[in-house]
Amino acid sequence: MFLESLQNFHTAMGREEWVARWRKLGDAHRLAGELSLKKGAFEEATQACLCALTSFEVARRLLDEDDPQFGELSTRIEEAIDVFGSSQARKLQLVDISGCDQTEFPAYYLPGTGQDSCAPAVICISKEDETGVTLLARLLPVVIDRNVSVLVVSHADVSNHVPAKSEMPLSCCLDYLSVQHEIDDSRIGVYGEGLSAVLATDFAVSDRRVAAAVCDGGLWNWARTLASVSWLATNQDVMDEDAASARRLRLVRQLRCPVLVVAGGRGIVSVSEATTLLADCAAGRIDLELLVSRMARTPMGDIENFVPSDDFIFGWMEHKLAHSSAT
């Protein structure tokens, strides 16, 4: 509600004042969570921590990306996550994923709410300029009441490999989830943000076990293909729209699972590119959907309203992974 209301302001109170207000709000909720935890009131502690995490994320969104306060907010986020982890019966775990090249990298794992062995799971990859902890903090309020397990990894940990083998660490993540007793290994999806959306696409193409993907739908590779064609071709040889559509479909058909493309906001996919891809996929009867990020236009610049976007993404994941089980 706050982010939506910002577009009605014509004279901003000042970015720093808004950031300070939301940081103070987050601190108050985190303190309330700590006090509730000491009293043994675990549910109240959980809710307070979730409020703190969302408050800190709003403060982050109001900052310029190169603002030094990012580091300070990261510390506050980690402290709130520590309190959250102590308040949960189903513990948030920091686990080590063994890579196929004998290396290990960390990941955060939170089991779903159910006790059976048929729950879905999602591998979540942070943006290229964010840590796994940052993504985890934003997603916890979205996934806490859903019967879906999440494994959160950072872009840096899964992308620092030979390009041809960049999907291998993600396959190791899927291997880890597949042996967890509460997870149905036929219902594991992947979600990537920013350039990680490209990693999610490549992973879904290379590993047939992926049951649903929130990714770029091949548009990054398509843009590189188009740039190469334009560079090599003369003006008379420029690709017509029918040929372009056929090439886009050839790329996206490599994805053998339902796909959600998130366009706009701070992502790498433009709305116009995604809309064209959506039309091509509709004509080709390919299961691809589009989410356009909601933006609040403010005197401080455009700010992405992450709350409804995240809620839609995980609602879509739940629906598609449930359908995957039925199939």
DSSP labels, 121-161: EEEEE--TTS-HHHHHHHHHHHHTTSS-EEEEE-HHHHHSS
Tell which residue, 141, 107, 80, 188, has the closest CA to residue 306. 141
Q: How many residues comprise the chain?
A: 327
User: Residue 187 burial (CB < 10 Å; 0-12/13-18/19+)?
Assistant: buried
Which band of pLDDT confidence, cut at 50, 70 and 90, is reported for residue 149? very high
**What's the pLDDT at 88?**
77
Q: Say which range, 67-71, 233-237, 279-283, has the weakest mean pLDDT.
A: 233-237
Rounded to 5 degrees, what are φ and ψ at 180? -80, 130
* pLDDT for position 173: 95
Which residues, in sequence order, are CB contacts of 167 under 8 Å at separation 6+?
199, 202, 203, 205, 206, 207
DSSP 163: G
Instruction: Indicate the pLDDT class of residue 101, thresholds 50, 70 and 90.
Output: low
Going along the chain from its start, the domains and CATH numbers come out as: 1-89 (1.20.58.80), 93-326 (3.40.50.1820)
With CA atoms as reference, report the closest residue to 322 among 143, 151, 314.
314
Least confident stretch, 108-122, 134-148, 283-297? 108-122
3-state secondary structure of 113: coil
Question: Above 80 in pLDDT, residue 3?
Answer: no
Torsion sign, CA atoms 175, 143, 212, 193: negative
pLDDT of residue 11: 55
- The whole-number pLDDT of residue 70 equals 85
* Pure H helices in the chain: 2-5, 15-39, 42-62, 69-87, 132-143, 155-159, 168-178, 196-206, 219-232, 241-252, 271-283, 306-326
**pLDDT greater at residue 22 or residue 114:** 22
Structure confidence at residue 234 as a pLDDT band (50, 70, 90): low
Q: Rounded CA gap, 239 and 226, in Å?
A: 9
CB 198 within 8 A of CB 128: no
pLDDT at 66: 80
Burial class (CB in 10 A: 0-12, 13-18, 19+), 312: middle
pTM for the structure as a whole? 0.91
Tens of pLDDT, residue by residue over 216-231, are: 999 988 777 666 555 5
Q: Return the pLDDT at 248.
A: 80
Q: What is the mean pLDDT of residues 191-217?
A: 95
Q: What is the mean pLDDT of residues 63-69?
A: 82
160's tokens: 């620092």
Report the sign of the C-alpha dihedral through residues 43, 123, 268, 67, in that order: positive
Output the CA angle 214-147-318, nearest 5 degrees.
35
Average of per-residue pLDDT across 39-55: 94
Q: What is the pLDDT of residues 172-200, one digit of tens each?
A: 999 999 999 999 999 999 999 999 999 99
Residue 262: pLDDT band (50, 70, 90) is: very high
For the chain, the average pLDDT equals 86
Those residues with Cβ within 8 angstroms of residue 224's Cβ, 6 or more apart along the chain or in another chain: none
The two three-digit tokens of residue 2, written as one number: 């706050």
Mean pLDDT of 273-293: 93
